């Protein structure tokens, strides 16, 4: 009788397959389906790319109008030569998909609030956050407007979409990107809406910090009271060196925003101490405070060649696959090279054969909250201007892996979507009903700005192109072969009265509404200034003579701008190599100002031997954040500790986390006057501490921490900072950790732990353009490809690649050209 062994064997076999065909829970995450994942015929092994892969191909596509030749160089950068403008975006879409499909899909899923669909109920509150913020709503506005009014952009985005989908159509299931297999889901068709969602995500990344900051500042004001708040979070920046040089005259203001008569009591000095929070929702990580950038252009008067040089390095989260993908686009109408966004057509930061352009974040406040009173829990009506006003409802259905759909019904008001209410709240929202008004909700032709910049021939073209730009506000720098340099802060900006929108505003009547948008002609702009350079580094664009309020000063880092301007002013006979050296410069101008200010209050004789030793080490430091420097670590730990001693006590008692004041506040206070009432430790009642006392306390505490760091061999800056380029899923094994690189906050080389120069570009506008650049990643998004992280070490070393920007025949014959992909009409 063999029935029993048969049954036993069958059961074991079926169980084994079932287990290996299931995602098994491990802690908070899940394994891939192990049998599938390990299968060398379908699983991850299929993504292990041959080192000597030949990328030659011949591709037939129905959507093409003509023939397109793509030559790939040895860094896997495609040089696309097309017979017409639409074909080129089809091919760009195809190549983005071929090398970055998973990333494009993942980033737009985040933006659309669709993570739960692939990762399960854990991500539900993050999905709700993006839905309620109006990310999908905003993308829909843009899509509708472009479809109805802009046939050229529609054709461009449609061609791009068709290209992505053409790649996916020929992609066999075993060759889908690695991450799909790891997380066990499938690619889905690309749509134009996904391109707009991606651009919404950039708006969020660059202007969405207000979504958290406005709540925190409101709660900080409530806790401290406005008078103390205004001392610690002052908008005064004595050492500001603005983008538009001081003394430049601005156009006469056409708008005169006025604070409401009751603003003092009902807004600035309003306090609301109630904390009532149930069912707290987790929010996504707030956009990095250091999301910023450097850009500058020097005119021919300052260069060795007599031609301008333009530099741009956007500081963003450092991720693998990188946000950027290098590409050359050449059609009969234009020839452009630069960094593109997988997910969007055209080049975003780059140059063509007439000019070069770059961007930095403007940092202006374009997102506000209005507090509402609803008639009842149905949220069908809210109180506005003395009457009940009807809401509309927007339904967002969130699919959840292994679970039922979740339906979010969002009340829409004339302010915007209701972001927070009793259903969706966190400790900072405190259960308030808050509608969010954000310029990113407006339909936007952002794609067209880049489309036109790619084709711009001169300064007028550049101005016309950027005039279309709405959100996120950017500083567009430009230099032409003919010798012009210019910079303009561009976007939809609110004509604000002082401190308007820093805190949650009353939304029960129109008095706190935006009183107008600043006309384009009044945006800060400068062309060919006498000093021979234009620059920006996220500092305030203008001094106090500008007629509109820009937003809270904590949005405008002060020190990189000082460094850039000081260095550029002193340079002459500049070469492209000098500009590379400046982009990777590690001088710490903040420390140069902070150390002497701090030393005014250090009583050496009262310090312990260890602390004295550390202070000496700080004073002997050369002020450069070099990777092997110990002085910077000592300075940073001492400074943070002193700050904490000065204002940590004021903030410590709050039941919810408060915003830390900016470092410049303490430096400038120390420089102005060594008496600072905030210095008093409010936890001691029998004594009034002075700044000197608190500096002493801070340094002694720091010296303990430094001793511990020294033991762990983490006093060296690169070890302390541990810069990493992190895979989008935050999986260490797919990331590059502990890179030997200097720089930091306030440094031109703005590389922090997981943030920094995400694309470095130097363009010398000689007849045959001489350009250099790279980003910390690689052209392939496949962790199994040698091109996955091939630029990372070169980037960390502060070196550059010469960018190949050549006409077709020259490129074809170039020694770096390795492969040919031919696209023809099917």
Partner 1 sequence: MKNNTFKIPVSILLSAIACFAIGLYTVLPWWSFMVTNFLIALAIPQKPWVSFLTGALGVGAIWTGLATGIDMANNHLLSTKVANILPLHGSYVLLILITGIVGFLLGGMSSLTASYLRKA
Chain centroid offset of residue 145 CA = 26
Residues 84-143 that bind partner 1 (CB under 8 A): none
Nearer to partner 1, 483 or 786 (CB): 786
- How far is the C-alpha of 425 from the C-alpha of 422, rounded, in Å? 6
User: Do 742 and 583 touch, CB atoms closer than 8 A?
Assistant: no
Q: Residue 787 Cβ, how far from partner 1 at the closest point, in Å?
A: 10
Size of the site for partner 1 (CB under 8 A): 46
What is the DSSP-derived secondary structure letter of residue 161? H
Nearer to partner 1, 31 or 677 (CB): 31
- How far is the C-alpha of 795 from the C-alpha of 584, rounded, in Å? 10
What is the DSSP-derived secondary structure letter of residue 690? -
| 17 touching partner 1, by CB under 8 A | yes
Residues 714-743 that bind partner 1 (CB under 8 A): 731-734
| 756 touching partner 1, by CB under 8 A | no
| 21 touching partner 1, by CB under 8 A | yes
Peptide bond before 486: cis, by omega within 30 degrees of 0?
A: no
Residue 632's nearest CA partner among 663, 692, 589, 581 is 589
Helices (H), 208-329: 209-224, 226-232, 263
Q: Residue 102 Cβ, how far from partner 1 at the closest point, in Å?
A: 14
Query: Contacting partner 1 (CB under 8 A), which of 22, 30, 49, 819?
Result: 49
Q: Residue 722 Cβ, how far from partner 1 at the closest point, in Å?
A: 18
Nearer to partner 1, 171 or 422 (CB): 171
| 427 touching partner 1, by CB under 8 A | no
Residues 165-204 that bind partner 1 (CB under 8 A): 172-174, 178, 182
- How far is the C-alpha of 201 from the C-alpha of 474, rounded, in Å? 15
Q: Residue 58 Cβ, how far from partner 1 at the closest point, in Å?
A: 22
Strands (E) across 523-664 are located at 525-527, 533-536
User: Do 821 and 57 touch, CB atoms closer than 8 A?
Assistant: yes
Q: Residue 36 Cβ, how far from partner 1 at the closest point, in Å?
A: 5
Query: Contacting partner 1 (CB under 8 A), which of 25, 27, 28, 51?
Result: 51
Binding mask 440-469 for partner 1 (x = CB under 8 A): ------------------------------
Nearer to partner 1, 46 or 432 (CB): 46
Nearer to partner 1, 132 or 736 (CB): 736
User: Do 776 and 758 touch, CB atoms closer than 8 A?
Assistant: yes
| 321 touching partner 1, by CB under 8 A | no
Q: Residue 45 Cβ, how far from partner 1 at the closest point, in Å?
A: 5
Residues 28-47 that bind partner 1 (CB under 8 A): 31, 34-36, 38-47
Q: Residue 788 Cβ, how far from partner 1 at the closest point, in Å?
A: 8
- How far is the C-alpha of 700 from the C-alpha of 585, rounded, in Å? 31
- How far is the C-alpha of 664 from the C-alpha of 553, rounded, in Å? 10
| 20 touching partner 1, by CB under 8 A | yes
- How far is the C-alpha of 36 from the C-alpha of 17, rounded, in Å? 10
Query: Contacting partner 1 (CB under 8 A), which of 472, 783, 792, 823?
Result: 783
Q: Residue 568 Cβ, how far from partner 1 at the closest point, in Å?
A: 42
- How far is the C-alpha of 551 from the C-alpha of 388, rounded, in Å? 31
Residues 786-815 that bind partner 1 (CB under 8 A): 786, 788
Binding mask 485-514 for partner 1 (x = CB under 8 A): ------------------------------
Query: Contacting partner 1 (CB under 8 A), which of 5, 25, 27, 247?
Result: 5
Residue 347's nearest CA partner among 367, 326, 368 is 326
| 48 touching partner 1, by CB under 8 A | yes
Q: Residue 728 Cβ, how far from partner 1 at the closest point, in Å?
A: 14
Residue 429's nearest CA partner among 624, 603, 216, 617 is 216
Q: Which stretch binds partner 1 (CB under 8 A): 13-21, 158-166, 203-211, 301-309?
A: 13-21
The enclosing H or E element of 5 equals helix 3-20
Nearer to partner 1, 9 or 738 (CB): 9
Q: Residue 18 Cβ, how far from partner 1 at the closest point, in Å?
A: 10
Partners of 29 in the β-ladder: 26
- How far is the C-alpha of 750 from the C-alpha of 111, rounded, in Å? 26
Nearer to partner 1, 18 or 684 (CB): 18
Return the HEC string of 561-599. Answer: HHHHHHHHHHCCCECHHHHHHHHCCCECHHHHHHHHHHH
218, two tokens:
């409101």
Nearer to partner 1, 6 or 388 (CB): 6
Residue 82's nearest CA partner among 159, 169, 180 is 159
Q: Residue 21 Cβ, how far from partner 1 at the closest point, in Å?
A: 7
Q: How many CB atoms lie within 10 A of CB 26?
A: 8
Q: Residue 714 Cβ, how far from partner 1 at the closest point, in Å?
A: 23
182, two tokens:
């790891």
Q: Residue 450 Cβ, how far from partner 1 at the closest point, in Å?
A: 34
User: Do 312 and 295 touch, CB atoms closer than 8 A?
Assistant: yes
Q: Please list, residue by residue across 778-793, b when 16 or more beta carbons sit within 10 angstroms of its beta carbon and e when fewer do.
A: bbbbbbebebbbbbbe
Binding site for partner 1 (CB under 8 A): 1-3, 5-6, 9-10, 12-13, 16-17, 20-21, 31, 34-36, 38-52, 172-174, 178, 182, 731-734, 783-786, 788
């Amino acid at each position: 009788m063999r029935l029993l062994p048969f049954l036993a064997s069958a059961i074991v076999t079926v169980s084994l397959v079932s287990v290996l065909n299931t995602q098994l829970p491990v802690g908070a995450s899940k394994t891939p389906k192990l049998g599938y994942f390990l299968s060398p015929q379908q699983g991850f092994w299929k993504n292990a790319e041959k080192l000597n892969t030949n990328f030659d191909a011949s591709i037939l596509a129905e959507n093409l109008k003509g023939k397109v030749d793509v030559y790939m160089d040895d860094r896997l950068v495609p040089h696309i030569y097309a017979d017409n403008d639409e074909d080129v975006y089809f091919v760009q879409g195809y190549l983005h998909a071929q090398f970055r499909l998973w990333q494009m899909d993942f980033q737009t899923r985040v933006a659309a609030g669709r993570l739960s669909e692939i990762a399960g109920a854990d991500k539900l509150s993050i999905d709700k956050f993006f839905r309620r913020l109006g990310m999908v709503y905003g993308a829909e506005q843009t899509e509708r407007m472009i479809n109805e009014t802009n046939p050229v952009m529609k054709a461009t985005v449609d061609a791009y979409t068709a290209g992505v989908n053409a790649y996916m159509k020929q992609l066999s299931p075993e060759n889908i990107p690695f991450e799909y297999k790891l997380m066990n889901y499938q690619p889905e068709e690309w749509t134009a809406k996904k391109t707009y969602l991606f651009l919404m995500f950039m708006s969020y990344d660059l202007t969405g910090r207000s979504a958290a900051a406005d709540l925190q500042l409101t709660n900080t004001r409530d806790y401290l009271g406005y008078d103390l708040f205004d001392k610690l979070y002052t908008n005064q920046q004595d050492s500001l060196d603005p983008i538009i040089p001081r003394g430049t005259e601005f156009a006469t203001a056409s708008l005169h925003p006025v604070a409401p008569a009751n603003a003092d009591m009902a807004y600035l000095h309003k306090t609301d101490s109630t904390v009532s929070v149930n069912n707290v929702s987790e929010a996504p990580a707030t956009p990095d405070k250091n999301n910023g950038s450097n850009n500058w252009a020097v005119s021919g008067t300052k260069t060795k060649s007599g031609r301008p040089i333009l530099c741009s390095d956007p500081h963003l989260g450092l991720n693998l696959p990188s946000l950027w993908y290098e590409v050359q686009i050449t059609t009969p109408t234009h020839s452009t090279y630069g960094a593109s966004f997988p997910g969007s057509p055209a080049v975003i930061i780059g140059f063509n054969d007439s000019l070069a352009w770059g961007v930095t974040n403007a940092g202006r406040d374009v997102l506000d909250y209005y507090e509402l009173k609803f008639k009842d829990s149905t949220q069908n009506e809210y109180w506005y201007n003395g009457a009940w006003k009807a809401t509309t409802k927007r339904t967002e259905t969130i699919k959840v892996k292994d679970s039922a759909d979740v339906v979010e019904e969002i009340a829409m008001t004339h302010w915007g979507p209701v972001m927070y209410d009793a259903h969706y709240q966190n400790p900072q929202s405190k259960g308030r009903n808050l509608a969010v008004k954000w310029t990113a909700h407006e339909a936007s032709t952002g794609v067209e700005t880049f489309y036109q910049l790619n084709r711009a021939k001169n300064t007028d073209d550049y101005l016309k192109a950027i005039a279309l730009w709405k959100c996120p506000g950017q500083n567009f720098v430009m230099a032409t072969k003919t010798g012009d340099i210019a910079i303009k802060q561009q976007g939809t900006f609110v004509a604000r009265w002082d401190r308007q929108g820093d805190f949650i505003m009353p939304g029960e009547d129109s008095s706190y509404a935006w009183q107008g948008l600043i006309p384009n002609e009044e945006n800060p702009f400068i062309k060919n200034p006498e000093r021979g350079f234009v620059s920006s580094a996220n500092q305030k664009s203008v001094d106090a003579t500008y007629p509109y309020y820009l937003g809270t000063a904590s949005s405008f880092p002060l020190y990189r701008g000082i460094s850039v301007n000081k260095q550029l002013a002193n340079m002459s006979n500049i070469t492209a190599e000098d500009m590379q050296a400046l982009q990777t410069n590690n001088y710490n101008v903040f420390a140069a100002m902070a150390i002497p200010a701090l030393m005014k209050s250090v009583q050496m004789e009262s310090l312990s031997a260890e602390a004295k030793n550390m202070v000496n080490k700080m004073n002997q430091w050369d002020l450069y954040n070099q990777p092997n420097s110990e002085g910077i670590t000592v300075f940073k730990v001492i400074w943070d500790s002193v700050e904490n001693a000065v204002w940590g006590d004021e903030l410590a008692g709050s039941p919810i986390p408060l915003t830390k004041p900016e470092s410049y506040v303490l430096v400038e206070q120390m420089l102005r006057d060594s008496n600072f009432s905030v210095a008093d430790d409010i936890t001691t009642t029998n004594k009034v501490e002075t700044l000197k006392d608190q500096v002493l306390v801070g340094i002694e505490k720091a010296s303990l921490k430094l001793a511990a760091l020294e033991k762990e061999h983490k006093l060296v800056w690169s070890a302390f900072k541990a810069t990493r380029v992190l895979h989008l899923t935050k999986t260490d094994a797919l990331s590059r950790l502990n890179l030997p690189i200097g720089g930091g906050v306030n440094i031109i080389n703005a590389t922090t732990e997981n943030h920094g120069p995400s694309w470095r570009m130097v363009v010398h506008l000689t007849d045959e353009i001489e350009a250099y650049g790279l980003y910390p990643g690689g052209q392939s998004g496949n962790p199994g490809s040698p091109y996955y992280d091939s630029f990372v070490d070169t980037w960390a070393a502060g070196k550059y690649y010469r960018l190949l920007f050549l006409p077709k025949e020259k490129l074809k014959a170039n020694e770096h050209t390795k492969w040919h992909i031919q696209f023809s009409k099917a």
